[in-house]
Amino acid sequence: MTVEYNPDQKIPHPAMWGVLYKSSTPFWEGVKNKKIMLQKCKSCGNLLNPPRPMCPKCQSQENEWITAKGTGKIYSWVTFNEAPHPAFKAPYAAVLVELDEGPRIVSNMVDVKPEDLEIGMAVEVTFEDVAEDLTLPKFRKAG
Amino acid sequence: MAIESIKDKTAIVGIGVIDFSTNIGRSEWYSACQCIKLAADDAGLNIYDIDGMVKNIDDGPDPSYVQKGLGIDNLTYHSESHWGTSAMMNAVQGVASGSCNYCVYYQAAHRVSGPEKSISDYRVAREVKDDSLDMIRYDFFSPFGLIGQPGYVAMMYRRYMHETGITPEQLGWIPVVDSENAAKNPNAIFFDKPITIDDYMKSKVIADPIRELDCAPKVDGAIAIIVTTPEKAKSMKQKPVIISSNAAGMAPEGQFHTSYTRDVITELPEMKNMGDELFRIAGIGPKDIKLAMLDDTFTPYVPLQLEALGFCGKGEGAAFIEGGERIRVGGELPINPDGGLIGQGRFDTTRIVEAVRQIRGTSTNQVAGADTILVASGAGGPADGLILRKA
Amino acid sequence: MLQEYMDRKYRTDNKPSVEANLIKNNVAIVGIGQTQYTKNSGRDELDLACEAIQNAVDDAGLKMSDIDGFDTFILDRLSLPMLINSLGTPNVRFSCEVSGGGGAGCAVAVHAAAAVATGQADYVCCYRSLNEASGHRYGRGDDFIEYMPVALTPNYGYIWPLGFVTPLGWAGVWGRRWMHEFNITREQLGWWPVVLREYAQNNPEATYFGRPMTHEDYMESPMIVDPLKLHDCCVNTDGAAAYIITTVERAKDLKQTPAIIAASAQCCPIEQEIQTIYQRPSISGLVETWYVGQELYRVAECGPDDIDVAQLYDPYSIGGIIQLEELGFCERGEGGKFVEGGDNIRIDGKIPCNTAGGLLSEAYLHGWNLVIEGVRQIRGTSYNQVKDVELSMVTGGPGVASSGIILRR
Amino acid sequence: MAEYVQGIPIMRPYIDQDNQGYWDAVKNHKLVFQHCSKCDKYHHPPRPMCPSCHSQDTLEWKESSGKGIIYSFVMFTTNKMAYPAFKLPYAVVLVEMEEGVRITANTHEIEPDEVQVGLPVEVMFEELPDGQTLYRFKKREA
């Protein structure tokens, strides 16, 4: 099962307000281009997730962006029996995916029912255009 | 000389609580003035002698408003704090550093009937003009429908179940014991009779695995707490409650209820940092605590707090609460004899008020020998706490 | 109401004793840091804050992991958890925010000092980061479209519907009353901005560096809100600044000459509003600045004549000049005459003021730049160094719940 | 003075339990002030407690004479600090009322160069284009 939306409601959009949210802009630009981008400290190689302007390990402000493989495992999940926002049709699940590179990101599953979810399930990324102006990285069962 | 610690440098001398409700019919400004007047009466203090005010940032109008009702000529110390009861720390520092004589910590929040409710609900969904950079963190959750605190906590709770085997049948004892205690507290409006573990298991699962009864409901209320020095307290109306210790704690990669990027997400490292500091300042250990006022805004945090604060070992929190015997009044470590937030609604300062009453011996659900009490707040985010003792 | 202010007799019997004040002479500012002050930083506030804080940590000779407390005031777009997750400080034991806008310019130092003096934190970092020039502006009329008074600030309901939404306008009301009661002239007002602009010519970091202004230029500048002209008003700035507070004991092992806090004060007198302080018996003075000054002098056990240099929070010229009166640098109603010609506030004058250019000519960093300049004067590293500075005063904003500190060597 | 530009919302007061009586009166073209019946004192802006006796149930609304003098004022002459719903220039006056409290308002039929500290004024009411009622001040004989 895939998350279904109520067509007359606006899905919450991430903010891409240019200078106001500069740190995370490359992540969302990447998603538009169907890639998961990860911020990496140029000085110590630490992966920064969520993106931020300084590396908490070495205080360097120099960083670069790498493309994640898009594979990982389910680390945890929540099933919403009541939708906390009118854009979503309950029930649906939000999953926490641990990427093979290490960082964990929140997403939804495609073609997996909430009751079939398991911690440790191998998953791979897929991109879904959920609205005219919004693409989201989602995951399907690997293989 | 600067001092080593705030141990025994301050005391709570007055508390003021208005009747909680789900539709209070008054402004928060009104309730703030009202509860401070009650606290001053309780302390036997002239309102005009109050010269310090602290509060939580979103709860109630700021000191300049409250002052217009109270008529105080000048405050020499005031500030705001973000979470839990961490404003208490500012009150303690203000008094201990000699910046003010009588500092009042007020929390006036009408979370059901007041207009703030709609603002914070909207904020999560980012539908209003809110340009705080804080909003950036929701960007990685909201588009996927992970919205609202019950969902954020459920993500951690599922992992907690997976790692330790904790079950809802165990966790359910928190609301069951809370409801037993709440039934004895006239200001705890959510239970007039205790519920059973069966009632809990039948409670609606809203964000699986979080049930409705795992979450503290919203409430309208107002509380004021007056802090001064133990010396000044001696000549006042009430027996002072000494602040043995007061601390706050944070930890790397922390976010409110969503610290998912940590190596282990099923611990409360902020709470551990805070607890270690609390015990260090007070010079005592978990074994010396007779009663714990813990943050039960969401039930999974209670066993995690027991672990973080050293009341039991890692992974033993679930067994500690199961059956309720050890956490009831009369048990090994009574928890929240006022009914907690599950029984009274989300109102963090109730924990301090109940601790004060227990030490005074005036609680409606008195714990025998409750002379040393730990108060913890801010589970799932920056934590803060107090150890209070009898003078 | 406010009898002690009306009588100019400060009550000391209801204050904690000076001996009980743990902040006095026990706490010091040991590190200062800032970013470039620009009109368009091209970076977000979190990014700017990280840089300024790192600079302050380096200046003090500390490691980032030493910082265990943070302090700022409200109207900040940063969230503390996000900031900490960038800086990587392992355990933050203290944090707080102060309400009241620019009045809290020094209150932040008060609370950080209280934390350090009571052992609740070792090194507290006070930070401010703004994109006011390129991004969100506080206090511009058109920024208020879509805003409505809300529950926590119902008193805006009596002023906003009048097209009366900006602090500059609100301050103009008490400014005019002061001018009216004491026959202050526009020519006199102009000397404050003119002298500050002179200072900025020696400060390469100042916004108006390289752009001098004569008194004639001032007189010819356009009226913004009558009675205030363009050059009566502060600049808009993108940038960040930070400073670090610890005990004098710890300061001994650090890199810089500590700027020791001889006194700190905060106040919130009754009928306090954000500038619309219209219900007080007199509005031709600044009650809050008077309270701050009296408390500072009481704790530091000194008077206005002992102060060698002052950084007065001046979002508008009138705010700076009336503070001179309320702090006792000149008599009530004499502020206009005192600044006339500018000599009294120049570097060799009676009380050199805002020696880096202040909010009008250096930067509008909500008073952080004033604290930093106050520290530089103690260290002897100011671009406009006053000779042999023993006591350096810094204040928070006028017309709001205010604050101040006196620094000493 | 005080005319409006179309299309930009004029702000409205925030009305709650503490100031409902004040704004209800304005709607009925009356100016009232909060008064404590126990202390016989006026307070403005309205508040939930009397700062003199700390009573929360002796506060009442008393109608004002509507007369006062201009205590101070500002004139908005450029769009920089003005609210864009207003046509320039416009004045905001602080009026000291006979009851002793001071209130702010816009002016009615007073030329910019006539606005002076000390000018006697009296209240009048205006229906704004967005339907709300607001008080203003006009000249009166001293």
What is the C-alpha to C-alpha distance for residues C230 and B177, in angstroms, rounded to an integer?
A: 65
Could you tell me how far CA A65 lies from the centroid of its own chain? Answer: 16
Answer yes or no: are the C-beta atoms of D64 and D97 closer than 8 Å: yes
C160 pLDDT exceeds 90?
no
Give the pairing of strands B372-377 and B383-390. Answer: antiparallel
What is the C-alpha to C-alpha distance for residues B75 and B24, in angstroms, rounded to an integer?
A: 29
Residue range B264-286: mean pLDDT, rounded:
97
Answer yes or no: are the C-beta atoms of C401 and C319 closer than 8 Å: no
HSE of B264, CA atoms in CB hemisphere, 13 A: 13
Give the residue, B58 or A81, on which the prediction is more confident: A81
C-alpha distances (whole Å) from A143 to each of A71, A72, C166 are 11, 12, 61
How many Å lie between the alpha carbon of B269 and the closest alpha carbon of chain C? Answer: 9
Residue range C253-265: mean pLDDT, rounded:
97
| C156 is known as an active-site residue | no
- Residues in A touching B131 (Cβ below 8 Å): 17, 20
pLDDT band at A23 (very low <50, low <70, confident <90, very high): confident
Encode pLDDT of B144-202 as tens digits. Answer: 989 889 999 999 999 999 999 999 999 999 999 999 999 999 999 999 999 999 999 99
CB within 8 Å of chain C, chain B residues 54-83: 57, 60-65, 67-68, 71-82
Give the three-state DSSP class for C354.
Answer: coil
Token pair of B124 as six digits: 């999560």
| Inter-chain touch C163–D86, beta carbons under 8 Å | yes
**Residue pLDDT tens, chain D, 142 long:** 688 888 888 888 888 899 999 999 999 999 999 999 999 999 999 999 999 999 999 999 999 999 999 999 999 998 888 888 899 999 999 999 999 999 999 999 999 999 999 999 999 999 998 889 999 999 998 7
Backbone angles phi, psi at B249, to 5 degrees: -150, 145
Give the residue, A22 or D141, on which the prediction is more confident: D141
C145 → closest Cβ in D84, D104, D105? D84
Q: Which residues pair with A100 in a beta bridge?
A: none
What is the C-alpha to C-alpha distance for residues C359 and C177, in angstroms, rounded to an integer?
A: 23
pLDDT band at B4 (very low <50, low <70, confident <90, very high): confident
B111 pLDDT exceeds 70?
yes
Closest CA to C280 of D48, B95, B73: B73
Give the three-state DSSP class for C149.
Answer: coil
Give the three-state DSSP class for C187.
Answer: helix
**Cα dihedral B7, B32, C268, C145 sign:** positive
Q: Please report the DSSP string for B170-199 in residue order.
A: HHTHHHHHHHHHHTT-TT-TT-SS---HHH
Query: How is the beta sheet containing D59-63 ordered, strand by strand?
Result: D41-43, D32-36, D59-63
Token pair of B7 as six digits: 């141990």
Residue range A113-124: mean pLDDT, rounded:
96
Encode pLDDT of C348-397 as tens digits. Answer: 999 999 999 999 999 999 999 999 999 999 999 999 999 999 999 999 99
Residue range B106-115: mean pLDDT, rounded:
86
| Inter-chain touch C149–D13, beta carbons under 8 Å | yes
Answer yes or no: are the C-beta atoms of C5 and C295 closer than 8 Å: no
Q: Which of A46-50, C191-195, C326-330 is predicted least confidently?
A: A46-50
A84 → closest Cβ in B148, B208, B253? B148
| Inter-chain touch C120–B65, beta carbons under 8 Å | no
Touching subunits of A (3+ CB pairs, under 8 Å) are B, C
* Count of helices and strands (H, E) across chain B: 14, 12
Task: Output the pLDDT for position B113.
Answer: 84
Question: By percentage, how much of chain B surpasses pLDDT 90?
Answer: 85
Give the residue, C45 or B278, on which the prediction is more confident: B278
Token pair of C267 as six digits: 């106040």
C341 pLDDT exceeds 80?
yes
| Inter-chain touch A54–C87, beta carbons under 8 Å | yes
Question: By percentage, how much of chain C surpasses pLDDT 90?
Answer: 82
Q: Which of A113-122, B1-10, B183-192, D133-142 is predicted least confidently?
A: B1-10
- Residues in C touching A39 (Cβ below 8 Å): none
CB contact C78 to A (< 8 Å): no
pLDDT band at B129 (very low <50, low <70, confident <90, very high): very low
Task: Output the pLDDT for position B226.
Answer: 98
Backbone angles phi, psi at C293, to 5 degrees: -60, -45
C340 pLDDT exceeds 70?
yes
B125 pLDDT exceeds 60?
no
pLDDT band at B3 (very low <50, low <70, confident <90, very high): confident
Contacts of D104 (CB under 8 A, 6+ apart): C158, C159, C162, C164, C173, C276, C278, D92, D93, D94, D95
| Inter-chain touch A21–B145, beta carbons under 8 Å | no
Task: Output the pLDDT for position B130.
Answer: 47
Answer yes or no: are the C-beta atoms of B391 and B232 closer than 8 Å: no
| C147 is known as an active-site residue | no
Token pair of B315 as six digits: 């992974």
What is the C-alpha to C-alpha distance for residues C348 and C288, in angstroms, rounded to an integer?
A: 28
How many beta carbons lie within 10 A of that of residue B31, not counting itself?
A: 26
Token pair of C83 as six digits: 């900031």
B135 pLDDT exceeds 70?
no
How many Å lie between the alpha carbon of D141 and the closest alpha carbon of chain C? Answer: 22
How many Å lie between the alpha carbon of B250 and the closest alpha carbon of chain A? Answer: 14
Closest CA to B115 of C148, C303, C371, C196: C148
| Inter-chain touch B73–C264, beta carbons under 8 Å | no
Among 1.10.10, 1.10.1740, 3.20.20, 2.40.50, what is the CATH number of A69-143? 2.40.50
Catalytic residue among C5, C313, C316, C383: C313
Encode pLDDT of C75-132 as tens digits. Answer: 677 878 889 999 999 989 998 888 777 888 899 999 999 999 999 999 999 999 988 8
B273 → closest Cβ in C21, C45, C91? C91
What is the domain partition of chain D in residue ranges?
A: 15-63, 65-142
Whose structure tokens read 């004589």? B101
Chains D and A: 3 or more CB pairs within 8 Å of each other: no
CATH number of D65-142: 2.40.50.840
pTM (whole model) above 0.90: yes
D105 → closest Cβ in C140, C144, C162? C162
User: Which amino acid would we find at residue A107?
Assistant: S
Q: Please report the DSSP string for C291-308 in residue order.
A: HHHHHHHHHHT--GGG--
How many Å lie between the alpha carbon of A12 and the closest alpha carbon of chain C? Answer: 21
Q: What is the C-alpha radius of gyration for chain D, rounded to an integer number of angstroms?
A: 16
CB contact B29 to A (< 8 Å): no
| Inter-chain touch A59–C64, beta carbons under 8 Å | yes
Closest CA to C354 of C327, C388, C320, C325: C320
Domain spanning C27-131, CATH architecture = 3-Layer(aba) Sandwich (3.40)
Closest CA to C258 of C268, C266, C267, C248: C248
Q: Which residues pair with C130 in a beta bridge?
A: C239
Q: Which of B52-56, C101-105, C275-279, D13-17 is predicted least confidently?
A: C101-105
| Inter-chain touch B207–A23, beta carbons under 8 Å | no
Q: Is the ipTM of this complex over 0.95?
A: no
Contacts of D7 (CB under 8 A, 6+ apart): none
Q: Which residues pair with D96 in a beta bridge?
A: D69, D102
| Inter-chain touch D54–B27, beta carbons under 8 Å | no
Q: Is the peptide bond before C227 cis (omega within 30 degrees of 0)?
A: yes
Average per-residue pLDDT in chain C?
Answer: 93
Give the pairing of strands B210-211 and B220-228. Answer: unpaired
What is the domain partition of chain A in residue ranges?
A: 13-67, 69-143
User: Which amino acid would we find at residue B115?
Assistant: P
Answer yes or no: are the C-beta atoms of B204 and B215 closer than 8 Å: no
The listed range with the strongest mean pLDDT (B116-125, C96-105, C172-181) is: C172-181
Closest CA to C227 of D92, B104, A118: D92
Token pair of C196 as six digits: 């500050």
Task: Output the pLDDT for position B358.
Answer: 98
Give the three-state DSSP class for B230.
Answer: helix
Q: Which of A128-132, B326-330, C21-25 is predicted least confidently?
A: A128-132
Task: Output the pLDDT for position C258.
Answer: 98
B123 pLDDT exceeds 60?
no
Q: Which residues pair with D105 in a beta bridge?
A: D93
- Residues in C touching D106 (Cβ below 8 Å): 162-163
Answer yes or no: are the C-beta atoms of B340 and B182 closer than 8 Å: yes
- Residues in A touching B127 (Cβ below 8 Å): 10, 12
- Residues in C touching D114 (Cβ below 8 Å): none
HSE of B349, CA atoms in CB hemisphere, 13 A: 30
Backbone angles phi, psi at C367, to 5 degrees: 95, -10
Token pair of C179 as six digits: 């001018």
